[in-house]
Each structure stands twice: as structure tokens, then as C-alpha cells.
């Protein structure tokens, strides 16, 4: 069974630029999550989708971050404009249904200069 | 704010010893509890989950849950150098969206 796929794996941008990350969940998984993990911290949930609807985006900085999950499969997370404090690893995870075990992708390491 | 607390470590144990990792959580309505292992530069991978009070064993790993004390632990028996990693405790809190909240993680080093 293929795992969660993410791209790109690494991205370096300058502050005020925009960036987008892509995630393809495990086939059949209805729930998709985006997390931000800052060095030395645990992952922090940014947004949770159930199929293509948003379940929780309470910790998403909506003035600069946006996410969508079209057709209930792939998802993209965008940052515009980026700030220095956005430097982190962005992890995508999926689960069969909500409450079930979440499986993580390899993550995208973002460095904002 | 629902919180999950872990000792950040580092926790250092000799090879073959038992490593004990601890976690407390603030939300009494929490339902499910997970331990993830994260190697440096890698993404978290699930080690174990536990839903009910008591112990759950899987190979060298034992998860222990005490809901009354709001405490969950992970024991690693016969620790190996390959167990050296950060261990993340994660809790699904009560509520309709079943949000998973992570602790900061405990860095474990197993010395040969």
C-alpha cells in the first residue's frame, strides 16, 4: 500500500514570497490533515479535511495560509506572503476516517530567508 | 487550551535497559492515545495506540494508560541504539472533530 505522498521535499524562499505544498493521501482515506512542525516542537494541526470539507481550521493563520482539497483526494496548502516564522516542516497526514490512526507523509521542509 | 505535556529530555539509557517515557494530558474527555516515533529529519511513525485503562503490549513496547490520573506512558524493553529517536505522545481530545494534539516529544538516546 502506497503511503502519503508530499512534494516538494524541500523549499527555500525569501520572505513575502508565496509557496505551495501538495499532498496525496493514502488511497481511500477520507480524512486529511496538514500539520506544521517547528524545530523542537510537536506537530501542530493547521487544518483537517473530511472528504473535501473543512472540519477544523482553528489554528490556520487565515490571513496568509490557505488550503483546499478538491474532489476529496489531493490537497494543497499555500502560504502567501511567507514570513520568517513560517520556517518549519509541513506534514500531511491521512486517516481512513476521523478518530482512526493518522499516517504521515515525509513532509516538506520550508526555509524562509 | 487542551495540552499534552512531555519531558523533553534527553533521556539517556544504556543498551538493554528499559526506557520509560511519560506523558500527561489536560482534557479529561480525551478518548484515544498514541505514541509516535520520529527519527531526526523524518516524519512521525506510529508505535502504538491505546484506548482503555491498563497496559497494552506489542513486542518490546508497552503502553500504559491511567485516565483517572490523566497519564499515559510508553515502556521500551531491551532498548536498542536503533530506538534512539524523539517519541511523541498524541491525544485525541473530546469533541466533535476528534482533534489530535501532540506533545513536544521526548528525545531518547540509547547508548551502546
Q: Across the 112 residues of chain B, what is the mean pLDDT of every consecutive 10-residue run?
A: 85 97 92 94 94 94 95 97 97 78 96 94
**Element spanning B33, H or E:** strand B32-38
Contact yes or no for A74/A23 (Cβ under 8 A): yes
pLDDT at A97: 83
Chain A residues in contact with B48 (beta carbon < 8 A): none
Chain A residues in contact with B44 (beta carbon < 8 A): 43, 91, 104
pLDDT at B29: 86
- Pairing outcome for strands A65-68 and A53-56: unpaired
Distances (CA, A) of A41 to A65, A109, B78, B86: 20, 14, 27, 10
pLDDT at B25: 94
pLDDT at A98: 79
B99/A48 touch (CB, cutoff 8 Å), yes or no: yes
pLDDT at A71: 84
Q: Which residues of chain A are modeled with pLDDT < 70?
A: 1
pLDDT at A15: 96
Interface probe with B: pick from A42, A89, A92, most Cβ of B within 10 Å: A42
pLDDT at B96: 62
Residue B34, exposed/middle/buried by CB under 10 A (0-12, 13-18, 19+)? Answer: buried
- Cell 488550503 locates to A67
Across the interface, of A42, A91, A101, the residue whose CB is closest to B49 is A101
pLDDT at B93: 79
Give the N- to C-terminal CA distance of chain A in Å, as an integer: 37
What are phi and psi for residue B37, nearest 5 degrees? Answer: -110, 135
Q: What count of CB pairs under 8 Å joins A to B?
A: 46
- Shortest Cα distance from B80 to chain A (angstroms)? 23
pLDDT at B98: 78
Contact yes or no for A109/A10 (Cβ under 8 A): yes
Chain B residues in contact with A48 (beta carbon < 8 A): 97, 99
Please give the sequence-ordered ranges of beta strands (E in DSSP) within chain A, or none if there are none: 5-7, 10-13, 19-24, 31-37, 44-50, 53-56, 65-68, 75-79, 88-95, 103-104, 108-112
- Shortest Cα distance from B19 to chain A (angstroms)? 20
pLDDT at A1: 65
B43/A55 touch (CB, cutoff 8 Å), yes or no: no
Write out the three cell numbers for B25.
Answer: 494530558
| Per-residue DSSP letter, B81 | G
B43/A107 touch (CB, cutoff 8 Å), yes or no: yes
Amino acid at each position: 500500500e502506497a503511503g502519503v505522498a508530499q512534494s516538494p521535499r524541500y523549499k527555500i524562499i525569501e520572505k513575502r514570497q508565496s509557496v505551495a505544498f501538495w499532498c496525496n493521501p493514502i488511497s481511500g482515506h477520507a480524512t486529511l490533515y496538514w500539520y506544521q512542525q517547528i524545530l523542537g516542537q510537536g506537530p501542530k494541526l493547521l487544518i483537517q479535511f473530511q472528504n473535501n470539507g473543512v472540519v477544523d481550521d482553528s489554528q490556520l493563520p487565515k490571513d496568509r495560509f490557505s488550503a483546499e482539497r478538491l474532489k476529496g483526494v489531493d490537497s494543497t496548502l499555500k502560504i502567501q506572503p511567507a514570513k520568517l516564522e513560517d520556517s518549519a516542516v509541513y506534514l500531511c497526514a491521512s486517516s481512513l476516517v476521523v478518530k482512526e490512526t493518522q499516517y504521515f507523509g515525509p513532509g516538506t521542509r520550508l526555509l524562509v530567508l | 487550551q487542551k495540552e499534552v505535556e512531555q519531558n523533553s529530555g534527553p533521556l539517556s539509557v544504556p543498551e538493554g535497559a528499559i526506557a520509560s517515557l511519560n506523558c500527561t494530558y489536560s482534557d479529561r474527555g480525551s478518548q484515544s492515545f498514541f505514541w509516535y516515533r520520529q527519527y531526526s529529519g523524518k516524519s512521525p511513525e506510529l508505535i502504538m495506540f491505546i484506548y482503555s485503562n491498563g497496559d497494552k503490549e506489542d513486542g518490546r513496547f508497552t503502553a500504559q494508560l491511567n485516565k483517572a490520573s490523566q497519564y499515559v506512558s510508553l515502556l521500551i524493553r531491551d532498548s536498542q541504539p536503533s530506538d534512539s529517536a524523539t517519541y511523541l505522545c498524541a491525544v485525541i481530545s473530546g469533541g466533535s472533530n476528534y482533534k489530535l494534539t501532540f506533545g513536544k516529544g521526548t528525545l531518547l538516546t540509547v547508548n551502546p
